[in-house]
Structure 1
Amino acid sequence: MAAKVTPLYERHRSLGARFIEFAGWLMPVQYTGIVDEHLAVRSRAGLFDLGHMGQVVVRGSDAQAFLQWLTPNDVAALRPGRAQYSMLLYPHGGVVDDIMIYRRPDREEYLVVVNAANTEKDVAWLLEHRAERVEWRVEIEDVSASTGMLALQGPRSEAILQRLTPADLSAVQSFDAIVSTVAGVPTLIARTGYTGEDGFELYFPIDHVGDLWDRLLEAGESDGIVPVGLGARDTLRLEACLPLYGNELSAEITPLEAGLGWVVKFDKGPFIGREALERQRQEGPPRRLVGFELVERGGIPRTGYEVRQEGERVGYVTSGTNSPTFGKPIGLALVDRRAAGIGRELSVVIRGRDVRAVQVRTPFYRRPKSSTSHS
């Protein structure tokens, strides 16, 4: 089956993008280069096409109760105009997907944003569990095909976006979402992102995506904005230790093993996967996600590479790269609990050779205090 493309495909081509197939989509992996794009987001601003992501609306008088049962975070804590990172879980505690939930400020419904590779699976999961609760008044609508999604990320993102919207962006806190217009287009503006930088994710009618893409690049030209592909998206999120589904999270990896226990609110009442995670919490997760950096030359740690301690296999690399910000190889690894510990040595098997590494504090990157006034 031919890969899908977003409405911005021709614009990406005209900007010189190189493409890869990702989750059934043909997406730009880079324009001028991964390192250039990465450093632009860290220092100025970058614009991302997220047209491959999935969006689902959950509405009805029992929408909150439904999402509260389906996810481990506390949906009841979401006031209108707030966003929450959460997950869909299997009964055994593994992860169906990690998601963002927005409680809309303008109407009583929730927008659930899901990963591109999981959209069909997630919608089926929601519908399957909706069918189990016939008494609940809940409506689920997959709006992916009609919803445009762009991300503007970096320390100059507020200044750039402010030129195109009447909303006072300085009043929008981290994980807030407001309804306004951007270049005249009705838009849900959320101060969320996946880079470790300040920035915004924009949701709007998909027919306007080309115009908004053009207007944002134009508005940010004097600030050095660049279009950014999936390559730098991955290095940015890895430096910030933001998980990627299929790497740090999966049906076999629980949120507790992934170091995301803060997402799981055991005291909120029943939710799918609660009993399994409660057992794991009491016993202690058998594996832990750790951050490491290589301390000798030997290549770049890549997903799936074996990790050893004192010659014995203790786990594997979930994500690794040569960090553009720090200029050295870094990674995340899922290792046996007994092998984990900041300062403890590991080795990563790269091209048949054990390359020394040391476990370090995560995240690798935190944005400077001067640009965190909204967090």
Structure 2
Amino acid sequence: MDLKTPLYDCHVRAEGKIVPFAGYLLPVQYKTGVIAEHMAVRKAAGLFDVSHMGEVILEGNDALGNVQKLVTNDCANMADGQVRYSPMCNEEGGVVDDLLVYRINQNKFMLVINAANRHKDIIWINKHLFGNVKLTDISDETAMIALQGPLSKAILTKLVNEENLPSKYYTFRENVNIAGINCLVSKTGYTGEEGYELCLKNENAPELWEMLLNAGKEEGLIPCGLGARDTLRLEAAMPLYGHEMDDSTSPLETGLGFAVKMNKEDFIGKRGIIERGEPKNTRIGLKITGRGIARENCPVYYGDILIGRTTSGTHSPFFGYPIAMAIVDKAYAGIGTELSVEVRGKKISAEVVPLPFYKRQ
């Protein structure tokens, strides 16, 4: 049975179209529609319920050592209040999940994990813990709200002094008092825009949600659903677990080499990545130049040669044409290369373009 987030009633009242997603009932869109929600985030601001995400605390004298073993990125030089993105691999070098590591202090870290992988991840992490460390799953008691867009700071500072907010990308502040509600506020997001993610207790989430919407009325803040979240992350070329990566994909194949530190002392999957050798495939961006929209898992061709498959695709609201990401043979990945994508039995033309498609100015 699908679960409800603490904001479920807010979505129903706002006439959100509710769908099952990763074990939760969430709005895919509101009356405004996906395109309007998408453009609100690009031009002004949008509010997302991301309470389905999982949050896990690792605490103890060996917390850092465990984080270092579990993830491919190097977290040894993180400062308190820093956030770092990383894949978490299996022994063969495939991706168990991709996650965010929050350093609360030397002996306490929070991992934010994908909702669909939450239970799998916790079993995996528990299986590999060592030494003095305790895992606490706080997902069921924690809500998360994402305020995203160029006007997000202007909206949030109506409710909290700017000096209490994190100022740098991928940093966070704990115990931020937002109009009487205690929040962990991080300068992170999944849209390619300026923005914040707010972690708080479930019981306070509906009040904060309504407070933010009221504060942002003048700026054009609107609630946004899963549809806009997906089109925004795709324009920003942010990978999605189950699309751009899975248990069989190496993070090096999907463009995540920046978060894999092979010079770090051992981590789970390091040997597997080495044994795979130099990746033959890579992730690319495609601008669809023919008629049609490529979705996930469409065959990609160079002439008559099958070179890979799309991993995500949509019509881009910002650019006004279809785009897709694909994992293909490196030999055909050069910018400007003319390819074709098979959509429902018909090949449509496409061109390799740089990632990300969208980069905020």
Separation of aligned partners in 2, 1:121 and 1:290? 29
Give structure 1 stretches of 5+ with no counterpart.
369-375
User: Is 1:239 aligned with 2:238?
Assistant: no
Asked whether the equivalents of residues 347 and 356 of structure 1 are also in contact (C-alpha less than 8 Å), the reply is yes
Map 1:203-214 onto structure 2 (within 5 A). 203-214=199-210
State the TM-score, normalized to the length of structure 2: 0.97
Q: Return the alpha-carbon distance in structure 2 between the equivalents of residues 69 and 77 of structure 1.
A: 14
1:346 corresponds to: 339
2:269 equivalent to 1:273: yes
Aligned match of 2:24: 25
| SS of match in other structure, 1:150 | strand
In 2: Cα distance, 1:66 partner to 1:24 partner: 28
Q: Quick one: distance in 2 between partners of 1:192 and 1:171?
A: 10
Residue number in structure 1 paired with 2:173: 178
Match of 2:326 in 1: 333
Report the AA paired with residue 24 of structure 2.
Answer: W
Letter in 1 for 2:135: I
Deviation at 1:295, TM superposition (A): 1.3
CA distance in 2, matches of 1:151, 1:164: 15
**Shift, 1:13, TM fit:** 1.1
Q: Indicate if the aligned counterparts of 2:63 and 2:107 stay in contact, CA closer than 8 A.
A: no
Aligned to 2:263, the other structure's residue is in SS state helix
Distance 2:274 2:260 in 1: 10
Superposed displacement of residue 278, structure 1: 2.6
Aligned to 1:148: 143
Distance in 1 (alpha carbons) for counterparts of 2:171 and 2:347: 45
Match of 2:300 among 297, 304, 307: 307
CA contact (8 A) 1:158 1:169 kept: no
Separation (CA, whole Å) in 1 of partners of 2:76 and 2:57:
17
Give the residue type in structure 1 aligned to 2:43: S
Aligned equivalents of 2:40, 2:271: Cα separation in 1: 44
Cα deviation, 1:126-185, whole Å, max 9, x if unaligned, reads 11112xx3xx10000000011111000000001111111235167611111012111211
Count, aligned residues: 359
Alpha-carbon distance, 1:114 to partner: 0.4
Residue 372 of structure 1 corresponds to which residue in structure 2? Answer: none
Are the counterparts in 1 of residues 165 and 173 from structure 2 also a CA contact under 8 Å? no
Q: CA deviation at 1:338?
A: 2.2
Structure 1 letter corresponding to 2:8: Y
Give every structure 1 segment of 4 or more consecutive aligned residues whose post-TM-superposition deviation is greater than 6 Å: none
- Asked whether 1:316 is paired with 2:309, we answer yes
Please give the TM-score of this superposition, normalised by the length of structure 1. 0.93
Please identify, of 41-50 and 8-17, the stretch whose mean Cα deviation from structure 2 is larger: 8-17
Residue 373 of structure 1 aligns with which residue? none
Percent identity between matched residues is: 44
Cα deviation digits, residues 183-220 of structure 1 (max 9, x gap): 21111110000000000001111110011101110111
User: Secondary structure of the equivalent of 2:199?
Assistant: strand
TM-aligned CA deviation for residue 314 of structure 1: 1.4
Letter in 2 for 1:178: R
Structure 1 residues 212-231: aligned runs within 5 Å: 212-231=208-227
* Secondary structure, counterpart of 1:113 in structure 2: strand
Secondary structure at the aligned position of 2:357 is classed as coil
Deviation at 1:231, TM superposition (A): 0.2
Q: What residue identity is the alignment partner of 1:160?
A: I
